[in-house]
Amino acid sequence: MNERATLSKDEVRTLFTEYRQASDADEQLALRERLVAQHIGLVEFLARRFRNRGEPLEDLIQVGTIGLLKAIERFDLDRQVEFSTYATPTIVGELKRHFRDKGWAVRVPRRLQELHLELTKVVGQLGQDLGRSPTVAEIAKATGSNEETVLEGLEIAQAYNFTSLDAPIDTDEGGSTSFADQLGEDDEHLENLEYRASLAPEMAKLPERERHILYLRFFKGLTQSEIAERLEISQMHVSRLLNRTLSSLRQALEEQ
């Protein structure tokens, strides 16, 4: 049997049932290997998202496989969700932890690492809400911290491990190149074509208002306040609709 052949949803669930019920250690190991083989393609797909950060793809696949094994052990058959959908955030989380724990050039306390990650999210959200870069005071208010703590968290980003321009990068042809060789060659519009093509069917399913809000925000560049004024609804309502729509599209993309 070709274990890389795609099994149906029911076949995957049957495989999980056999794995959970197996009493013999060798049988359980064999069934787990079949589950890993069946979903290693998902690991490889997710690992490639992180391949241009200076780490060999083979190492990233090993890290992602650890996340896959954790997902296999934690998966609850009673949940009405596909295993690939359940496993994706676990695998991605394992990859992100790998870079978080090993990506600092100097030893930085975990408290400051976590503060830096929190500030990165807050700054991104405020930038979207405000339509501009937030001030230190606005970041401090949003995080419930003081301005000194915010400055400390922003400054430690300099301690993050910047990858050398000569660091090797795997190519799709099986060879390798470097960051320096690729400078000035990436076209983000071409890079996004695959994602746009994947999202097009999901975009078509959205209500007209949600599609219009996405158009105004990401194609016309309007702020949430400007969109709210144009649609005669509150800025908070625009924010909720945007977050809900983007979460739905993100989930659809991950499932694909």
pLDDT at 209 over 70: yes
pLDDT of amino acid 68: 92
pLDDT of amino acid 43: 92
pLDDT of amino acid 3: 46
Q: Are 71 and 90 in contact (CB under 8 A)?
A: yes
Query: What are the contacts of 58-66 at 24+ separation with CB within 8 A?
Result: 60/95, 60/98, 63/94, 63/95, 63/98, 64/91, 64/94, 64/95, 65/36, 65/40, 66/94
pLDDT of amino acid 190: 43
Q: pLDDT (tens digit, 9 = 90+) per residue, 113-157? A: 677 677 778 887 888 888 887 888 888 888 888 887 777 776 655
Q: pLDDT (tens digit, 9 = 90+) per residue, 227-253? A: 999 999 998 888 888 888 888 877 776
Which value, in Å, is the radius of gyration of the alpha carbons in the chain? Answer: 22
Distance from C-alpha of 108 to C-alpha of 153, rounded to nearest angstrom: 11
pLDDT at 164 over 50: no
Unique residue bearing structure tokens 């959200």: 125
pLDDT of amino acid 69: 92
What whole-number percentage of the chain has pLDDT above 70? 71
User: Which region holds residue 131: left if phi is over 0, alpha if psi is between -120 and 50, else beta?
Assistant: left
Of residues 167 and 49, more confidently modeled:
49
Average pLDDT, the chain: 76
Domains of the chain, CATH where assigned: 9-102 (1.20.120.1810), 110-182 (1.10.10.10), 188-255 (1.10.10.10)
Distance from C-alpha of 187 to C-alpha of 170, rounded to nearest angstrom: 18
From the list 72, 47, 75, the residue with the least C-alpha distance to 61 is 47
Of residues 96 and 203, more confidently modeled:
96
pLDDT band at 165 (very low <50, low <70, confident <90, very high): very low
Q: Average pLDDT, stretch 57-68?
A: 89
pLDDT of amino acid 184: 47
